Amino acid sequence: MKMLNKLAGYLLPIMVLLNVAPCLGQVVASNETLYQVVKEVKPGGLVQIADGTYKDVQLIVSNSGKSGLPITIKALNPGKVFFTGDAKVELRGEHLILEGIWFKDGNRAIQAWKSHGPGLVAIYGSYNRITACVFDCFDEANSAYITTSLTEDGKVPQHCRIDHCSFTDKITFDQVINLNNTARAIKDGSVGGPAMYHRVDHCFFSNPQKPGNAGGGIRIGYYRNDIGRCLVDSNLFMRQDSEAEIITSKSQENVYYGNTYLNCQGTMNFRHGDHQVAINNFYIGNDQRFGYGGMFVWGSRHVIACNYFELSETIKSRGNAALYLNPGAMASEHALAFDMLIANNAFINVNGYAIHFNPLDERRKEYCAANGLKFETPHQLMLKGNLFFKDKPYVYPFFKDDYFIAGKNSWTGNVASGAEKGIPVNISANRSAYKPVKIKDIQPIEGIALDLNALISKGITGKPLSWDEVRPYWLKEMPGTYALTARLSAVRAAKFKAVIKRNKEH
């Protein structure tokens, strides 16, 4: 018996080592080895990819980790592992991490990919994470770079995270990131997609302008009856010009917090879905090369608070403003903006209107008339503790309202100094007396751990984000050419022209 006990004492450490060996990591150096190891990896396992170019990699991960024991697939030396050619990644298991991969020089079969389909990286499982990856002008196929996608049996992934990634010089159609909870838009008033609870944070977006409604930075959901409950925070959008919508938020109860939009030829849009929140975002245009945007808002019960708008030029085609509140018909395709809190925002030296209460109104009238709907302009608005200030000789008054109704909304504790108001409303001109108002009645969004009342009551905090605050930890120099020059390199511009031509032909 003593001999057996002694033998067990020797065997136990060996058995433990064998059980945890996957956590020590395996290094793979070919596509085939990567596929084989990924099939066998257990929860807590680490698969490291050796330096090199992995052409035509088709990585499908069906194994799952566990809470606290994710499966991690990462570059051995982040930034030195390249996925190229006819590449794709599918994360079909749960609790998976993909880290440190550089996606470039792709040549996927163009006919096999399409807008609103699975992305270059398609997440099908819940609790998955894409971190510290670079997506730079990958190829000429029309698809998103990252999607959360429904499985074949309709299961919706939840609680995924995309963070510290860089998305640059995307020349193809479709958004950079699509977060999906339905296979298509459901517009008949029935129940939409379930809550997703995803987070997109500390990412960098800079992509060139494409013609028409060609896909912006992020889309969340499809239509107003979808539930999002996604948190988009601490991202830097620098010359994110893909289309008029930097972000198109097409679901309910999403929160946008602490993002920076720098010199973007578009707006952050509450496009579909009520009860959304935008807090402490910075909308800045600091040159006069193009028109730059703030927010365009459809729908109701939103909270727009503690945002900073300073735009050296505004977008003429949208109505030259920082904040656009959509006129139209309630709960329609172009839903009326009404019943919301607009509090503790700062509109500083906006070369346009601070708030436009009837942008694109002629289009909305035509739509309402064609569909037998009642046209209205924004109302039931609570404007509290906002600062409107100009010390530059811009010709625009602070407000634009051609229907004489904006002044009938609730105005409390606002200050407007340095320009005409444009509407008859009682607002103090004493900037030195300005202070943010306290808010206490905003209910939290399920699944998002932010104290909205406390954040709003503080007023604007922090400052605009920089590249160093959002970049992949291993990447010093900003990839791509568009952010710094507002034009693509000659080679990328030629590819871009080919993409545009092909899309026009088809």
Give the three-class secondary structure for 344.
Answer: coil
pLDDT of 154-179, one tens digit each?
A: 999 999 999 999 999 999 999 999 99
Chain centroid to Cα 79, Å, comes to 24
The first and second tokens of residue 456, run together, are: 């709003």
The segments of the chain whose pLDDT lies below 70 read 1-24, 189
CA 150 – CA 323 distance, rounded (Å):
34
Predicted local confidence at residue 134, as pLDDT = 98
Predicted local confidence at residue 2, as pLDDT = 44
Q: Is 111 left (phi over 0), alpha (psi -120 to 50) or beta?
A: alpha
pLDDT of 37-73, one tens digit each?
A: 999 999 999 999 999 999 999 999 999 999 999 999 9
Amino acid of residue 57: V
DSSP state of 330: T
CA 199 – CA 210 distance, rounded (Å):
26
Chain centroid to Cα 178, Å, comes to 9
Predicted local confidence at residue 189, as pLDDT = 66
Please identify every residue annotated as catalytic: 250, 272, 333
Cβ atoms within 10 Å, residue 371: 11
Give the three-class secondary structure for 71.
Answer: strand
Q: Which of 121, 119, 123 is CA-nearest to residue 141?
A: 119
Q: Which of 424, 341, 418 is CA-nearest to residue 387?
A: 418
Angstrom distances, CA of residue 64 to CA of 67, 68, 81, 128, 378: 10, 12, 23, 10, 48
